[in-house]
Structures are given as C-alpha cells and as structure tokens.
Structure 1
Amino acid sequence: MDNTDNLVIPKWVSFTKEWHTKPYPDISPSRSGLSAAGKNVVITGGGTGIGKAVAIAFAQAGANSVSILGRRLDRLKSSVIAISAATQSNTQVLYRKADLTEHAQVQDALASITSAVGKVDIFVNNAGALPPPGLVAKYNATTFMGAFEMNVLTSLNAIQAFIPLAGADPILLNISTNLAHVRPMAGMPAYAASKAAQLKMVEHFAVENPELHVVSLQPGVIATEIAGPDSNVQGQDEVVELPAHFCVWLASSEAKFLKGKFVWANWDVPELLQRAEEIRDSRLLTIGLAGVAM
C-alpha cells in the first residue's frame, strides 16, 4: 500500500444489537429524566462540530450554564448564538477564547467561567485534531508529534485546569475515538497513536480522582470541520446530534454504571441499561490486553 486515498470505514462490531446513526427518544435532551437543571457545563472545542452540538444539547436539557472554549472568536460567537437559540430555558451561555496547548490560557478561561457561574459540574473534553493520513514508514516526524500536542497536551491542560474547579459529584466526558482501541487501520497512525495515549492518560486521571465520574466516548464517524475540506474517509452516516444527545444521557443518573468505561454513541441505551449490573461489576467496556484480565 503506497497511498491512503479513499480510506474506507470498516463494518464495526457492535456491543448492542441495535445500532444507531441518528438521535432517538431515549437520549433526547427534552426527556425529563435527562434534565441538566442546575448544572454548569463546560465544553472544550465548543465552537464547531461535535463540541457545538454537545453545547446545544445541554442547553436543550436545561443546564444552568453552558460554556465553550476554543481558539477562534468568530466560531465561538456564532456557536453562542446557535446555543442560545436552541434553548427555551434560562441557560447562561458563555464563551472564552483559549489555546488549549497553552496551560495558562486554559486555566484563566476556566477561572473566569467559574467566577461567573460557579463550579463546573460537567466537563466535556472534546478539543482535538485529526492529522493527515499517511503510512508510518513515510510519515513526517514533526507532523506526527504535532498530533500528540493537539490531542494529548490539550487534554492534559484541560483536565488539570478543570479538577480544582470541579463541583460536587463532577462528571468528565472524554470524547475519544474507536481508533484508540480497535485493530490498526492502515493510514491513520498519528491519530490512532495520539488518541490512544490520550485515552490512557484519562484512565490514569480517573484512578487518581475516584470522586470523578469519567466516561470515554467514541462519538461516531461524523463529517465535521476537524476532518478538513479534503477529508477522504468514506462510510460516514452518523449525524452530529447523536453523540451530542448521547452525552446528555451519559451525564444523567441512568448512566452511573458506566463510570470508568468506554462506550460508543451508536450503542443502544435500553440494551445497555438491561446489562447495567454486568457492565458495572466487570471489565466489560474497558481497555486492556485480550486474554489477560488485569
């Protein structure tokens, strides 16, 4: 294989029999059981794509406040307009400009948010980047390591800034990717390696802070700005509202059994709930070495 043209998404294996590509009633932000009333929500990378959709969903769920972080003011401002228009509640919508590769900027942004609305109850670690495809043997080393800066360093800065400002019973939703745990797919080494490292870092963070409810999420194959105008990945059929609504469900009391787990937004919530005790009390939906349960 000498090129990575027209990368094709393989047929995934699902944990649940039902496979979703669009939102459905069980994860609707308008469901009373999924209300985010009284909660302060912060989303990194909230100016576009999945982050913007997640912000809209939590506003629809009646959150006390929804705050977004990002580097581009124009995207943040347009996102705030969309978030505000999507809610009929009194949700406060804030934005703060911050380069997530700069720890001080992230720290200052979160401090500014909490001074305005109070402690952070739900933190959605979403910001990241999709480096260009390529083969390991020919990949530019600077570009490769840049993926770690955009996917690992940004997350490190975000969660370090979040933890001292977290409220009671805080929730961290980590937007990850299936490429961090599935069998290798030729052409995506930088993205897969950096997101696998990010996932492992978040797992350690969760163990170090047991008071946190941490869940990692594969959002789906979503056609968003992160892929760039020349995205050549085929097989995209999920809509961005699916992971957004799924995040609202993950932050609800119904999903407490998923603490420390890795889930896909495509999986069926009723089926997951039917297996709640089995999932909670086992190593199901955790990352490890097949055949070695440790």
Structure 2
Amino acid sequence: MPRPNFGIPFTQTFRSEPYAAIDPTQLSLSAAGKTILITAGHTGIGFAIAKNFAIAGVANVILLARRAEVLEQAAKNLSTAHPKTKFHHFTASVDDALQIKEIFSKIKSRISDIDILVTSAAYFAGMSDVLTLPSEQLRETFETNVFGNINLVKEFLVDIPEVGSGKEKIILDISSAAAHVDSPKFGTYSVSKIAFSRWLEHLHRDLKGKAVRIHSYHPGAVFTEATKSFGIKEDAMPWDDVQLSGQFSVWLASKEAAFLDGRFVWANWDAMELKEQQAKLENDPHLLTLGLISN
C-alpha cells in the first residue's frame, strides 16, 4: 500500500526522518528551565516528544495518562535515560474536568508553573462509516478529543501572561492530517480533530496581545501501538520516524517557529523552508489555517 496522497505539501522537501535543522541538542532550541505537560506521553508520539524535550534540556516533564502501570514505567525509563530532567506522572482521564483541575493545582504547588502543554491524548473508535459508528463511541470521541483537551487548555491558561512579562505559554496541539484531508472511514475522528484545532484558532484570536502561542500540527504518519491496535499492518505503507514528531515539536516550541503562531502545519514540512516563507505567512493571516477554499 503506497503512502496516501495528501496533495501538494507546503514545502518542496517532505521529511520522514529527523534532520539537522530540528536537532534538539542545538542551543537555539534549548528548553532549559521549562516545564512541559504531555498527555499520553507514556507511549508513541507523546513519549517521543517527552524524550526530545529532555534532550533539549527541559527541567520538568509531566506525563498524564489513564494507564497507571504503563505511565509509571515510561517515567522510569525516561528518568534513567535523561537523569538531568525530572519526570513526574499523574493518572487521569482528560475528560474528567474536576480531576484535571486538581492535578493542575498539585503541579503548580508541588512542581512548577507549566510553560508548554502538549495535547497528545486522543480517542479513535476505529475505522467506520460515520452513520454506523455507535453513538457511545461518537460521544467518547468528542469527550476526549474536544472537551477533554479544552479542559486541559482552560486549566493551563488560568494565569495568562502579558507580552513583555518575560513569561510565555505554548500549546502544542497534536492534531492530524485527517482534520483537513479526505479520510475515508476516519470521519468521526476527523471531525473531532478539526473541531478542537478550530477552537484553538478562535482562542488564538481571543488572546491577541497575550504571551500565548498556539501551534496545531499533523505529527506525521507514525506506526504506534495504537495504530497496531486498530488492525493496521506495519507493512501497510512507508511510515514516518516517530523521532521526527518529537524533534519537530521541540523546534515548534522554540523562538525559531514563533512566526507559525496560530497556524496548522505538518511535521513533514521542512523547517528551513517554512522559515523562508515567513514573510508570505505574515502577509496572509488565513494561510495555513482551517477554512473554506474559494479560488
């Protein structure tokens, strides 16, 4: 099975593996002193993001997920590999607003203010026509992918820093190409992903003038434990290296990518070529946003 045709990429170079420009060991991409919270950071893409932010020197990585044993093991493995970073873990479901509020309160009092929020947790009911998907699974998709992520953002932004305060909050929305391309059998997942990313675009406008950056992005086509559980075979297509997702996330949170605030991008797009189009993006507020094509 060949890689699906997602249309013409925004950059001429389409990346599937890590490359020098997004190497997290670079001083320009340093996350030293920062605290990051990653949902579903115990496996797959979330784990790769945790690993690469640790390489970039982040002070604290907070992992939040529902499976306590897997979560604890992931934190241990990361701590062993990256002893200079402190790893913390909390067991919770993002759709439990009260539980999320309590955890954020504990983090603030016991660890630190959170600088970066990564919304990596997602629910996928499986490949199905939208009409035949059971209502319970439809509801769970939106409870996690939309309402659950909104719970996180609201707690993350209880204190919103002003521009010039020396502080900045960054939201990294792990979205999906399914949010804006034709995705047969992925309809419900697609709609939930576009709903949250679109909600973030409105939030971006509402917070204009505040020191908050928001980035939504497709992390690449990565073969993960979750992908396998859906019955998709590893030899189904050429997959992207999960470390591309992790390293691109570090780059996106750096000052180098600040010009992409409020945009939707792909981890596969070359960072240097994106930087070359900064002026084009600054002159077109609708470019790389979700909307209707009219020409």
Q: TM-score, normalised by structure 2?
A: 0.91
Cα contact 1:21–1:239 (8 A) shared by 2: yes
> Counterpart in 1 of 2:266?
264
- 1:115-264 to structure 2, matched below 5 A, reads 115-165=109-159, 168-182=167-181, 184-210=182-208, 211=210, 212-232=212-232, 234-264=236-266
* Residue 109 (str. 1) matches residue 118 (str. 2): no
* Unaligned segments of structure 1, at least 5 residues: 1-5
Shift of residue 114, structure 1, vs aligned partner: 1.9
**How many angstroms apart in 2 are the aligned matches of 1:266 and 1:85?**
30
Secondary structure in 2 aligned to 1:58? helix
Q: Cα offset for 1:208?
A: 2.2
Change (3 A) 1:187 1:31: same
Distance 2:32 2:220 in 1: 27
Residues 37, 63 of structure 1: 8 Å contact kept: yes
**Structure 2 unaligned residues grouped into runs of 5+:** 162-166
Match 2:65 to one of 64, 70, 89: 70
Task: Give distance in 2, aligned partners of 1:152 and 1:51.
Answer: 18
* Paired position in structure 2 for 1:14: 9
Aligned with residue 92 of structure 1, among 86, 89, 92: 86
In the other structure, the counterpart of 1:3 is none
Contact 1:258-1:280 at 8 Å conserved across structures: no
Partner of 1:54: 49
1:186-238, Cα deviation, whole Å (9 max, x unpaired): 21111111111111122222222232100101001111123352432732410
Query: Is contact 2:123-2:140 (8 Å) kept?
Result: no
Measured after TM superposition, the shift of residue 139 of structure 1 is: 2.6
Q: How many residues align?
A: 284
* In 1: Cα distance, 2:24 partner to 2:54 partner: 8
Hey, what's the Cα distance between the residues in 2 that align with 1:178 and 1:228? 18
Report the CA distance between 1:272 and its aligned residue. 0.7
Which moved further from structure 2: 70-79 or 228-237? 228-237
- CA distance in structure 1 between the aligned counterparts of 2:3 and 2:125, rounded to whole angstroms: 17
Deviates more, 1:162-171 or 1:271-280: 162-171
Kindly indicate whether residue 32 of structure 2 is the aligned counterpart of residue 33 of structure 1.
no
Q: Deviations for 1:27-66, whole angstroms, at most 9, x for unmatched residues?
A: 1111111000111111111111111111111111001111
Equivalent-residue separation in structure 1 for 2:187 and 2:229 (angstroms): 20
Q: 1:119 touches 1:165 (CA, 8 Å); kept in 2? A: no
Describe the superposition over 1:144-202 as per-residue Cα deviations: whole angstroms up to 9, x where unpaired: 222111211211111111111566211111110011112x2221111111111111122
- Give the counterpart of 1:286 among 281, 289, 295: 289
- CA 9–189 in structure 1, closer or farther in 2 if over 3 Å, else same: farther
Shift of 1:286: 1.0
AA aligned opposite 1:180: A
Query: Which range moved further: 58-67 or 205-214?
Result: 205-214
Could you report, residue by residue, the CA deviation over 1:77-128 in whole angstroms, capped at 9, with x for unpaired residues? 111122223325x322111111111011111112212222321111111111
Deviates more, 1:120-129 or 1:203-212: 203-212
CA distance in 2, matches of 1:290, 1:160: 31
| Percent identical residues | 33
